[in-house]
Structures are given as C-alpha cells and as structure tokens.
Chains A and B, each alone.
Chain A
C-alpha cells in the first residue's frame, strides 16, 4: 500500500494505492499516525485505487477520522467503490462518514473560507513531519 499526498486549495488530499489489509496497514502505520497528528487538519482520503479493504483498513480510517475530529479537523472520503463500498456499507460507515462520489465533490464540500484558512498552517506541519512519497 502506498500513501501519497498533495494539497489542493489548502485541503490535504491523501491518495492511497493498493490493498488496505492488515499487513499493509502495519507497514504504513507511522505515516497514517503522522497525517492524523496534525491538529485541525482538513483532508480528503482518495480511495480510487484501493480495491480491497479488511477490518484493519477500516480501523486505520476510523482512527484518522476520530483523531482528526477530536483536534478540530475533518476527514472526507472520495471514490469508494467495489469491495470497499460493500465493506463500508456492512460496517455502517456509509452513514457515519462523509463520503463523496468524486474528488471534486469532496473538495467542493469544504467552504471556501475554510480552505484559505487552512493553507499555510497545514503546509508547515505536513512538510516537516511526513515521510510521504
């Protein structure tokens, strides 16, 4: 599983590629924790290239959502499809998380003033702390 990120209009886009399985999560745990550790972070998780997720993957997403919400930030999720969508539905996550059909719609859901507010703050933390490829 690879994690990469970019910033669009001050919102951090986290792109995940590969299976979100127990082994993969174990290997990327530090990166996931580093992303969630940025106080007040506003982010979109792009799951377009995730074909498989298990309970460990769900655990990683739940961790990010809870950690970000607690620090005043938020997590939105884009491009949930196939097996991932089925597992989300089974776990009731389709009702508990903010899920959008595309990256554009997820980004547009952030108010414009919020995007401006976040830009500088997040860049500083994320560049410094994240060993993301």
Chain B
C-alpha cells in the first residue's frame, strides 16, 4: 500500500481543527498541534510533507513558528501554508516574505483547500524526487546495474534495498593508480532529513580522502584515520555516526586487505573448511574517537570461497513477533547457499531476509555484497 502523505496542522481553534482534520484526514495522514511550541516538539520526531498553520495562536504564533523553522537545517524547506483569519495585504506579504508556499484566508471552501494542498504536495514531490535522484546519482550506487563487476581476478555483486527514498547505506568501487580496486561499504546511521542531508556532507569528506589519498597509493588504515579526524572535527555531526568497511583487491593477489570502522563482521565462507568465519571490526565507528586506529587484516581467498558483507538492516530485520533475523540466521543462510555464484547468492540472502520479515516493513536499508574469485 502506498504511504499516505503526512500533514501537520497547527491550529488553536478546536472547531476549525476538526474541520481541517475531517476534510484532509480522508486523503492524508494528519498530525495535530495547538500552537507553534507543540509543533516544534512534534517536528523533533516527525517529518511531515506539509505544515498548515494558523497565525494567531497562544504561546507561539504562526509567524514565529515559520521563522524558527526557516533557521533550522532540515526544516527550512518544509512546505508550509498559512490558513488564517488575517486577510490584509500586509499580513499576506509578511507571510510570503517568510518563505511560505501558500496563504488562505478563513473561511476556506473545501475544494479550494484540497486543490491548494494537492498543488503544494505535488510540487514538493517533484522537487524531492529530483533532489534524491541527484543524491543517488552523485553519491550512491544502488546496485551493479544487474551485472557482476570484475576487479583484479575477483567477482563482485551487490544490491542495496533502501527503506526510504534515499539510502543511508552506500557502496562504492573504484580503481587506484596502481591498479588495485577499492570497495567501500558504509552505513550512515540516523533518521529523517538530517541524516539524508548529512550523507552529502559525508560524501564530500569521503571523496576528499579516498579519491585523492587512496587513489594515489595511500594505505586503507591511514585513509580511515584521515577520514575519522575530519568527521571528529565537525561539530554538526555529533548525533550521527557512520560505519565503514574498506577492501583492497590488489593486482595479481588472492589476498584481500580489509579495514573496518565499526562495521558488521565480514562473513568468510571457506570452501575448503566448509565453515563461515566472522572477520570482526578492528577499529571503532567513525567520528567518535579522534585518536582511533584502524588495523588492516589480510584474508586469503580460495577459488570457491565467498566474502559476504552486509549492512545492519540485514541482521536487525524483524518479523511480526518482533524477533530479530540476527547473525546466526545469516550464517546459516550463507552455508545453505554457499555454492551459488555472487549474483544468485546475493539474491538468496536477500530473499531469506524478506521471507523472514514476511509482511513487516523494512525499518532500515538492507545491503548485501558478495565477492568471490574467478
């Protein structure tokens, strides 16, 4: 079922609130606040698609509410409409000067209300889609375009299933000057618009470090130290953290060098031993400790071995009973499907999570990557 758009109504008159709720509630999910203060509290928890506000209200009026939202990243561009009894030209000008999208004067006809609300939501949707498409195009590869990637004797396949329009999980593969391939998988934790906006800042840091430093032959461990220092120095990122795993697939080598910053363990299926080994993180997640170090690990990959890298959306998937999918189920699934090629194994692992979850919606992005030798 398609998710209904959420409208936050800020109105102190209970009768008018009821009227708005009645008319809009048939088409949209409605959240209510009786003044600007309560609206700001709600906006800490929810991200509405549109805010409809009265102007004259106790504690905090509509002008102050809009002005406050305008100064905060994440709420500054939220679609906003006034519905008010204040109908002079000066009142309107003051509203539009604050950056609102529309201004209706009470009483409002039902059809006018629905049309104007729809217009704003449609405009916002087009803008949002285009923004997130840009974000995805610029920074995040959602999959391999349905093809296996080949890097220095290794096959690689991955898929990202975003829980929302823009994913906090990301994967990138690029080649260094010395011919080695670098594979990055990370997860930007945090919810809502702030995390999404943050992903672009984060990618700017990533590009700076990895595309300049690593491409020119720097080590993975030093690259992570540099990235970590940048993230620790940015005070705007204090409620967001990121995990990252980097792999280096060298030329003419069966060894994979890896370094992890708090990312989930890599699962290494050893075909000769018929076991799944967990290669655990040796460094902490990024942006927490400016003196952190990130030791490198070398893993010898046999001809039929598989490396499986996932994001936490896999092991934290829950079913209807609230039971977690967990690392053990993932390991069992890897063992059951270990003979499959990377593309089929990736799909089998995703299918297993999906089957476990059944009708429970995904609460987080789900990413699976499989690497093998050829």
Binding site for B on A (CB under 8 A): 22, 26, 29-30, 54-56, 58-59, 62-63, 65-67, 70, 89-93, 95-97
Interface residues of B in 277-332 (CB under 8 A from A): 280-285, 287-289, 292, 312, 316
Closest to B326 in A: A83
A-B contacts counted at CB < 8 A amount to 70
Extra pairs beyond A89-B280, A92-B283 (15, CB < 8 Å): A54-B316, A55-B189, A55-B312, A59-B239, A59-B241, A66-B238, A90-B264, A90-B280, A90-B281, A92-B261, A92-B281, A92-B284, A93-B262, A95-B289, A96-B289
Contact residues in A for B312 (Cβ distance below 8 Å): 54-55
A95 touches B241 (CB 8 A): no
Q: Which of A26, A55, A66, A90 contacts B316 (CB 8 A)?
A: A55
Q: In the complex, which residue of chain B has the Cβ closest to the Cβ of A27?
A: B45
Known contacts A58-B241, A66-B287; is-contact A95 B292 (Cβ 8 Å): yes
Q: How large is the interface on B (under 10, 10 to 19, 20 to 34, 35 or more residues)?
A: 20 to 34
Q: How far is the CA of A58 from the CA of B261 in the complex (A)?
A: 14
Residues of A within 8 A of B283 (CB): 92, 95
Tell me whether B258 is interfacial, beta carbon within 8 Å.
Answer: no
Interface residues of B, dominant DSSP: loop
Q: Quick check: A90 and B45 within 8 Å, CB to CB?
A: no
- Whether the Cβ atoms of B238 and A67 lie closer than 8 Å is yes
B44 touches A30 (CB 8 A): yes
Q: Separation in Å of the B39 CB from the closest CB of chain A?
A: 15
| Chain A residue at smallest Cβ distance from B322 | A21
Q: Which residues of chain B from 219 to 268 have any CB-CB distance to chain A below 8 Å in the complex?
A: 235, 238-241, 243, 260-262, 264-265
* B285 engages A93 (CB within 8 Å): yes
Contact between A59 and B190, CB atoms less than 8 A apart: yes
Please measure, in the bound complex, the distance between the C-alpha atom of A29 and the C-alpha atom of B239, giving whole angstroms.
Answer: 11
Q: How far is the CA of A67 from the CA of B239 in the complex (A)?
A: 8
Inter-chain contacts of B187 with A (CB < 8 A): 55
Give bound CA distance, A90 to B241, whole Å.
15
Q: List 15 A-B contacts (CB under 8 A).
A: A55-B312, A58-B189, A58-B241, A63-B238, A90-B262, A90-B265, A90-B281, A92-B281, A92-B283, A92-B292, A93-B284, A95-B289, A96-B285, A96-B292, A97-B288
